[in-house]
Amino acid sequence: MSKEGRFRKRKHDNMQPRNQTEEGQSTVTSTPVLLSFESFQKELDAKHDKYERLVKLSRDVTIESKRTIFLLHRVISVSDVGELLHEADVKFGDIRLKIQQIAQELIGEDTCQFHRAFSPGLQEYVEAVSFQHFIKTRTLISLDEINNQLIFTPKTDEVKCSEDLASSCSQDEKQEQQPLCLQVTPTDYLLGIADLTGELMRLCITSVGNGDIETPFEVSQFLRAIYDGFTYIGNTGPYEVSKKHYTLKQSLGKVEDACYMLTVRGSEVPKHVLADVLSSKPSRIDQEEGV
């Protein structure tokens, strides 16, 4: 970061004399305008750099979250569940470190200004965290729970600093010393949860293949509740939410179909055949949706 700043400054220093020679010393009146544009240049560059750094951090969060979700899918098929869940926890720790970096970038900034830079990462994180929460507890994680995990206490040296300043410092300084936190917005939460339903559908189908008879029913009940929730929100939410609503309906259809098959034919057909039957189902559902 500092390197980049130095580079830009140098470039800008190079430009200044060139402009002076071009314009000549005679046009004294032109200097204030050019000077102010030089300060605009600095301001815009600083903003764009920050934006790019946030995008990069967000991408890292997305990738790591996706990997964690893949890891959690393995939980169902392998017996040593505890170890895998522990591994997921470690991964979440790393992801939170990244999110903490995002929060650090946003100190003293308007979070909404850069929201578009880091929102995809946060959504993926919500998806991963809520998936793990479902596997552990079979319930939906709340927005507050997610946000509480994203409150970072400042490092020890910063704490000392804040104690020294606390007595004398002004209000803005106090705000900076507060524990870092990054709040997931309700919209990001909703979009993350909508993505979660896709993962749950996958979980349902694979668990059938593994001869797990209970999970599909639990998942279908859970999905139905989420679907009802989205229906309740309807179109009060942003456009993206309504778009996901349709995909959610498809996922729910697949899961309900799986449960139906299990109930009707579960007793007579061998498990592995059932899994094959189910995986051929989705195409038929899609056709129905189209009508």
Binding footprint of another protein on the chain (CB under 8 A): 15, 19, 23, 26-27, 29-30, 32-34, 36-38, 40-41, 43-45, 48, 108, 110-113, 115, 139-140, 142-143, 172, 186-187, 189-190, 222, 225-226, 228-230, 232-233, 236-237
Token readout for 146 is 């997610």
Q: Could you give the count of Cα atoms lying within 13 Å of 112 in the half-sphere of its Cβ?
A: 2
- State the Cα–Cα distance between residues 263 and 210, nearest whole angstrom: 16
- State the Cα–Cα distance between residues 163 and 68, nearest whole angstrom: 38
Nearer to another protein, 30 or 104 (CB): 30
Q: Could you give the count of Cα atoms lying within 13 Å of 62 in the half-sphere of its Cβ?
A: 13
- Judge whether 197 and 252 are in contact, CB under 8 Å: yes
- In 3D space, the residue among 152, 92, 153 whose CA is nearest the CA of residue 126 turns out to be 92
Q: How far is the CB of 164 from another protein (least distance, A)?
A: 23
Nearer to another protein, 9 or 155 (CB): 9
The alpha-carbon radius of gyration of the chain (Å, integer) is 26
Q: How far is the CB of 246 from another protein (least distance, A)?
A: 17
Token readout for 8 is 């830009």
In this structure, what DSSP letter does residue 14 have? H
Instruction: Give one DSSP letter per residue of 102-138, joined into a string.
Output: HHHHTTTS-GGGGHHHHHHHHHHHHHHHHHHHHHHHS
Q: How far is the CB of 30 from another protein (least distance, A)?
A: 5
Q: How far is the CB of 80 from another protein (least distance, A)?
A: 30
Q: How far is the CB of 74 from another protein (least distance, A)?
A: 26
Nearer to another protein, 27 or 263 (CB): 27
Token readout for 168 is 């004398």
Beta strands 180-181 and 151-152 are antiparallel
* Most distant pair of Cα atoms in the chain: their distance: 96
Q: How far is the CB of 140 from another protein (least distance, A)?
A: 5
Name the one residue in this structure whose structure tokens are 């990997």.
67
Token readout for 9 is 């400054």
Nearer to another protein, 131 or 222 (CB): 222
Q: How far is the CB of 156 from another protein (least distance, A)?
A: 27
Nearer to another protein, 93 or 108 (CB): 108
